[in-house]
Structure 1
Amino acid sequence: MTLWDDISGSAPAAAKAYRMLEHMIVTLELAPASFVTEGALIERLGLGRTPVREAIQRLAWEGLLDVRPRAGIAIAPLHPGDWLRVLDARRGVEVVLARSAARFVTREAADLFHEAALAMQKAVISGNVLAFIQADKALDEALALAADNPFAARLAAPLQTHSRRFWFRYKADTGLAESAEHHVALIRSILDGDEEGAAKDAKRLMALLRGHAETAATR
């Protein structure tokens, strides 16, 4: 099953366009610092102009695209040092989300966490980096739902996407098992309703990523 199969047929076209474009940017299918036209994206996604344009605008607001009149659409570059800046901005809100998720997690969110953890573990066993990326995205969405704090979730989402993109570029070849271990520990604390444990696990995950980012910045 592909990413596109996973996107519900009943989902709004703009949401489909956003998920597809976000995935292409994160996995470097749209190369960093390259240019593309709106028309080319419309043809590539097989969706209408309006939903694709809405997705482009949203991704531009998140800093993943730069719309340049008469020049095209620039894909955000990847500067290794920027990963550290992303993580500095992300760390605090991840702790807020983790604490809140442990406090308010519902059965619906718990099911999503279980699915994400299982998908992540399967991706590690098979060495499937793209499946791991999808599982990581699913985990972030479960965290947003469980936390019941849309303000924190909206702040975190673009930072999570930027971080996922850096991780794919600089650590995907060796970091699956270690990353999965930290994510699963966070999920366990949340499902146990352990707010302090969830906060500590979120900090450990951010510290792990920061270590990767520091290594990438020195290359």
Structure 2
Amino acid sequence: MPDPTRAARTSASDTAYALTKDLILTGRLPGGSLISEGEIAHRTHLSRTPVREAFLRLQSEDLLELHPKRGAVVVPVTPGEAEDVLELRQALESAAAARLAGRGLAPRHEAHLRELVDDQRARAAARDVEGFAEVDEEFHRAVVDASGNALSSKFYGTLTDRQRRMSVSALVPRPERLAVLADEHAELLGLLLDRDAAAFAVALAAHLTGTHQPGGAAGRDGGAA
């Protein structure tokens, strides 16, 4: 027979987990921030027990570092980790483009990617950085999913949290660039439709470098993605 007390505690823990994770991924709790169980308990109107469980989950995901009697520190994305994420994204998305060059982009995937670009344009017009970053992640993940490589899709999914945090960090200082970024995504989609994997890889590299490496040409111009 199900234990209603345990079920309620699990639901409460999920609530605390979702709120805290959203605060981290959207940059409202930037790397290095100290957060206590009491603060989240107050925000969610919960006891500390489910919050503690939520913090343990976030620690296992390398988003929080727990310090007994002090609280938890948001783990920052280090420059080395960011470089690793970009390298993996370049490899996985370029491999997806190469596979799609052989088989073509299915109509349903094309329609989905076009919808995401339209969504990005709307969020750019509203200067909705958090929303744009979320749709940006979905767009790039959809490219990998469209290739039909289930292993690549599964692995790419493990980069989602880091990708969103990096994008928000890059976009917050320059929301005026969001419309340009939507155009870049439309260009990437066009290259997939042209089955030009080589040009896609080059455009993607410039897209990512301009976002996260200030020394790049696009970065000096204020690019982000």
Could you tell me the TM-score, scaled by structure 1's length?
0.67
Check conservation: 1:101, 1:147, Cα contact below 8 A: yes
Q: In 2, distance between residues paired with 1:147 and 1:72?
A: 43
What is the number of residues matched between the two proteins? 204
Instruction: State the match for 2:116 in structure 1.
Output: 116
Give identity over the alignment, percent. 23
- In the alignment, what sits opposite 2:90? 91
Give the equivalent residue in structure 2 for 1:8.
Answer: none
Tell me, yes or no, if the aligned pair for 2:104 and 2:193 is still in contact at 8 Å.
Answer: no
* Partner residue in 2 for 1:185: 187
CA contact (8 A) 2:93 2:143 kept: no
CA pair 165-188 structure 1, distance change in 2 beyond 3 A: same
CA contact (8 A) 1:94 1:156 kept: no
- Specify the alignment match of 2:205 in structure 1: 203
Q: Please, which moves more after superposition, 34-43 or 104-113?
A: 34-43
Structure 1 residue 93: deviation in Å? 2.1
2:149 maps to what in 1?
149
Cα distance in 1 between the residues matched to 2:142 and 2:12? 22
Give how far 1:68 is off.
5.3
Q: Which range is displaced more, 101-110 or 115-124?
A: 101-110
Taking a change above 3 Å as real, the CA distance of residues 115 and 21 of structure 1, as seen in their structure-2 partners, is farther
Identify if the C-alpha distance between structure 1 residues 105 and 198 changes in structure 2 by more than 3 Å, giving closer, same or farther: same
Change in CA separation of 1:161 and 1:205 when aligned onto 2, cut-off 3 Å: farther
Q: CA deviation at 1:63?
A: 3.0
Larger relative CO (CA 8 A, sep 6+): 1 or 2?
1
Deviation at 1:202, TM superposition (A): 2.3
Q: Quote the RMSD (CA, aligned, Å).
A: 4.0
Task: Give the distance between the partners of 2:107 and 2:119, measured in 1 at CA.
Answer: 18
Unpaired segments ≥5 residues, structure 2: 1-10, 221-225
Gaps of 5+ in 1: 1-11
Cα distance, 1:37 vs. partner?
5.1
Q: Residues 55, 181 of structure 1: CA spacing in aligned structure 2 closer, same or farther, 3 A cutoff?
A: farther
- CA distance, structure 1, for counterparts of residue 13 and residue 100 of structure 2: 28
Pick closer, same or farther for the CA change 1:194–1:39 going to 2, 3 Å. Answer: farther
Corresponding position of 2:223: none
Equivalent residues of 2:63, 2:74 under 8 A apart: yes
Q: Using the alignment, how far apart are the partners of 1:44 and 1:124 within structure 2?
A: 30
CA gap of 1:122–1:136, structure 2 versus 1, over 3 A, is same
Task: Give the aligned residue type for 1:25.
Answer: I
State the distance in 1 between where 2:149 and 2:42 align: 36
